[in-house]
Amino acid sequence: MAGRALVCGGGGVTGVAWMAGILSGLREAGVDLTRADLVVGTSAGSVVGARLACGVDLDSSYQDELRGTASESTARLGYGALLRHALAMVRTRDPRRYRAIIGRMARSASTMPEAERRAVIAARLGVSEWPAGRRLLVTAVDTDSGDVAAWDRDSGVPLIDAVAASCAVPGVWPPVTVQGRRWMDGGVRSMTNADLAGGHKRVVVLAPLLLAAGHVTGVGAQVRQLRRDGAQVLVVSPDRAARQAIGRNVLDPARRGPAARAGRLQAVTVADLVRPLWT
């Protein structure tokens, strides 16, 4: 088996902030997750994973979340979109078919222009090239077929496009055109896609959201399989204080600062759990 893998899951703008706090706090406690051989990023985790894998300083990322962006707009997954998600789950027993149904919804939704959203992601990332020093996987879902992609530096997909696609929450943000096809949030398949860390001995999963419903595979099932295959796995998710700091809308940028601070505080309590597995 290979070495260490870090999985960064989906969870909106507050998930990005919480993970930035966790990562910064863990390093201060002597646990440096940037030493992962593989980084898997889904949705919000693709932002965090890309910045980490590309060498952006953890404390710099944490400070970015504390500052926030005054011009960043608040988004929300409306009840209509949630209802369509629920209806799609009962219409089919095929996960791929379910994702294709959600993909149609994503393509027809009224959202900001794709180019405008791409510019937001580019500014948020602050990097534009795939990392050379370690492997980064970014997940996304084809809105037409429901197929899942896990792009890396050899895929021919620009990093900004890959991350923008992985963050394209259906019904909220526009699907992203990549190689002639339109792609949406990798979280439509799984909020973590932790199974992509298969083959690694030690796996840490940062999971801002522990969503598992219908055809969206939960982190629990994926972790159990990793452990059956011989991996040591630890899942870190927001504690009670962090959940309160994050609030009910994970797409609210006003909660970035509180979520980041809560993550950094939580790192103190989880460091003793992460350290023996990672080091």
Secondary structure, 3-state, the chain: CEEEEEEECCCHHHHHHHHHHHHHHHHHCCCCHHHCCEEEECCHHHHHHHHHHCCCCHHHHHHHHHHCCCCCCCCCCCHHHHHHHHHHHHHCCCHHHHHHHHHHHHHHCCCCCHHHHHHHHHHHHCCCCCCCCCEEEEEEEECCCCCEEEECCCCCCCHHHHHHHHCCCCCCCCCEEECCEEEEEHHHCECCCHHHHCCEEEEEEECCCCCCECCEECHHHHHHHHHHCCCEEEEECCCHHHHHHHCCCCCCHHHHHHHHHHHHHHHHHHHHHHHHHHC
Of 64, 142, 161, 185, catalytic: 185
User: Which 8-state DSSP code applies to residue 109?
Assistant: S
Of 43, 61, 166, 237, catalytic: 43
Active site residue 185: yes
Residue 112 Cα distances to 82, 109, 145, 173, 201, angstroms: 19, 10, 23, 7, 42
Residue type at position 178: V
Active site residue 155: no
Q: Where are the alpha helices (DSSP H) in 55-168?
A: 58-67, 79-91, 95-108, 114-125, 159-166
First-residue to last-residue Cα distance in the chain: 16
Which residues are known to be catalytic?
43, 185
